[in-house]
Amino acid sequence: MSRRKAAVIAPPRDTSPDEAALRALYRKDPSRILPNALWKTVMRLQSLECRFIDDAGSVTGVELREPGKLLIYGTRTQDPLKAASVKLDGVPTVYIHNDFVAPLAPWFEHKEAFFRLLHTGSELPLRATVPGYTIREVDMTTELPLVATILHACYDAPTPGTDEVTMWTKRPVFDPRAWLWVIDRKEKRPVALGIAETDRLTGEASLEWVQVLPAFRGLGLGTMLVQELVYRLEQRVAFTTVAGQVKNPCEPDHLFRRCGFTGRDIWWILRR
């Protein structure tokens, strides 16, 4: 009779101490610590090795590593020597702040830069209006396919379909008050869409999707949408973040700055 070896299943690691330490660090300087909204990293913490960087007795940064896959390195200090301690170990993908990218960049063929901006709500934006257009919330019961259609119409690259869009509404950060259409009053149809998420535990909101149909760009609708989102969000969170590709011909960082977002932080995704 053959004897089978019992499979050893490791119990899930308790990530709550790492999560608490990461949240405390992140809140001090979100755009320098992570390339994305905190909840996205917290969600993956189980598969990440988390090493906090200690500088003269205080935690100033974090190195997150998914063995053999990915490394994220963020720190509040600007000391380039800190980057010398980053060990690549052949990882194919690295997320790293601009201040530390130089010594690592030669090892990677593909490099993409992302801006990361912050709105602290100290000055709530004026809510611009554009005559002929109005804002209303997305109807979650009937309009999720339309969300996917509008996303598709706004980008050259592939965009999420209805199933994925529906999944976003099941996440704890889902905030139905921050899914907004800009409606063309005459045609009675949406011409722009903004989607933000709210992480109440962290006190962070993040703008996830902001887009205007190509034929309606340059009219001020992007500004109207972002100002309304920030206005709604900043009353309930401590800060709002947004990230986007630096090499975007639409120059969305200009739009976000115009609406009160600030910062100079650039993150790089390096791929071999």
Ligand X SMILES: CC(C)(COP(=O)(O)OP(=O)(O)OC[C@H]1O[C@@H](n2cnc3c(N)ncnc32)[C@H](O)[C@@H]1OP(=O)(O)O)[C@@H](O)C(=O)NCCC(=O)NCCS
Of the pair 28, 189, the CB lying nearest ligand X is at: 189
The minimum distance between CB 146 and ligand X, in angstroms, equals 16
Nearer to ligand X, 104 or 229 (CB): 229
d(CA 38, CA 35): 9
Nearer to ligand X, 107 or 155 (CB): 155
Vertex 167: Cα angle to 269 and 18 (nearest 5): 55
Nearer to ligand X, 109 or 156 (CB): 156
Minimum CB separation of residue 244 from ligand X in Å reads 3
| 66 or 220: CB nearest ligand X | 220
Count of CB atoms situated within 10 Å of the CB of 166: 15
What is the closest distance, in whole angstroms, from the C-beta atom of residue 115 to ligand X in the complex?
Answer: 9
Please state the closest distance from residue 191 (CB atom) to ligand X, in A: 9
Tokens 């690259």 — which residue? Answer: 157
Single out the residue of 79, 91, 74, 87 nearest to residue 38, CA to CA: 74
The b-or-e profile of 96-105 (16+ CB within 10 A means b, else e) is: bbbbbbeebe
Give least dist CB 192 to ligand X, A. Answer: 7
Nearest residue to ligand X by CB is 222
The H or E element spanning position 258 is helix 252-258
- Binding site residues, ligand X, CB under 6 A: 154, 210-212, 217-223, 244, 248-252, 254-255, 258
